[in-house]
Amino acid sequence: MLPLPEFEWTFCREPGCTEPDRVDDLPGVLGTRLWLQPLKGDPLQMRILRDLLGNQILLPASRMADDTVIEQIADLLIADRLHIHAREMETFAAGGTGGSGQSVAFPLAERQSRETAPPPPVADPPTFTSKVDPSAQAAALVAAASEGRPFCPE
C-alpha cells in the first residue's frame, strides 16, 4: 500500500485484497478523475501517483503531464488494477481533546421557526391619467394601422 500524506486513504496494488476498509464504490471514470483533481497542485502527491503509475504502464510516468497521470490512475482504479483503502480519521472538537458526545453545529431540536409577516402590498401607480379614453385611443390606433401611417398622440 502507498499512503498519501494528509489524506485519509491509501492506494493498494494487491489484486486479491479483501481488507474491510477497501473502497469499491467509485463514482465512475469522470467522478474518479474529479475526485483526484485536488492532488494536481501538490508535487509530492503527484510523485506518489507517478510512482504508482510507473509500475503499471510501460511509458515513463515522469514525462507525463499531471492531467494524464490523473486520467491513467482513474482508469486503473475503474479497471480494478488499483484500489483504495479508506482510513478512519479521529476527529476532535476545537480546543478539546476528544469528543465526549456528538456536537452538531445547528441542532434541529433547538431550531426556532421564524415569524414571517406577509409582504406589504405594492402600490402601483396607474399608467394612464384619468383623462385618457381607452376606447377612443384603440379606435385611433386601428384607423392609423389600416391607413399605414404611424400614430403619435398629440
Structural element, H or E, at residue 12: strand 9-12
Distance of CA 24 to the CA centre of its chain: 22
In Å, how far are 14, 18, 73, 140 from 84, measured between CA atoms?
10, 11, 11, 79
Whole-model pTM?
A: 0.49
Residue 75, domain member (yes or no): yes
Q: Range of 52's domain?
A: 2-86
- Whether residue 54 has pLDDT greater than 50: yes
Residue 77, domain member (yes or no): yes
Q: In this structure, which amino acid lies at residue 65?
A: A
Cell of 14: 494487491
| Higher pLDDT pick, 108 / 119 | 119
Residue 41, domain member (yes or no): yes
Residue 59, domain member (yes or no): yes
3: helix, coil or strand?
A: strand
**By the 8 A CB rule, do 24 and 83 touch?**
yes
Q: Domains in the chain: how many in total?
A: 1
Q: So what's the pLDDT on residue 103?
A: 67
Strands 22-23 and 83-86: antiparallel
Residue 11, domain member (yes or no): yes
Residue 70, domain member (yes or no): yes
25: closest CA among 87, 89, 86?
86
pLDDT band at 116 (very low <50, low <70, confident <90, very high): confident
pLDDT band at 4 (very low <50, low <70, confident <90, very high): low
Q: Residue 125 phi/psi, 5° resolution?
A: -65, 150
Cell of 11: 492506494
| Higher pLDDT pick, 30 / 89 | 30
- Whether residue 44 has pLDDT greater than 80: yes
**By the 8 A CB rule, do 68 and 54 touch?**
no
Residue 153, domain member (yes or no): no
pLDDT band at 93 (very low <50, low <70, confident <90, very high): very low
Q: How far apart are CA 49 and CA 91, in angstroms?
A: 27
Structural element, H or E, at residue 10: strand 9-12
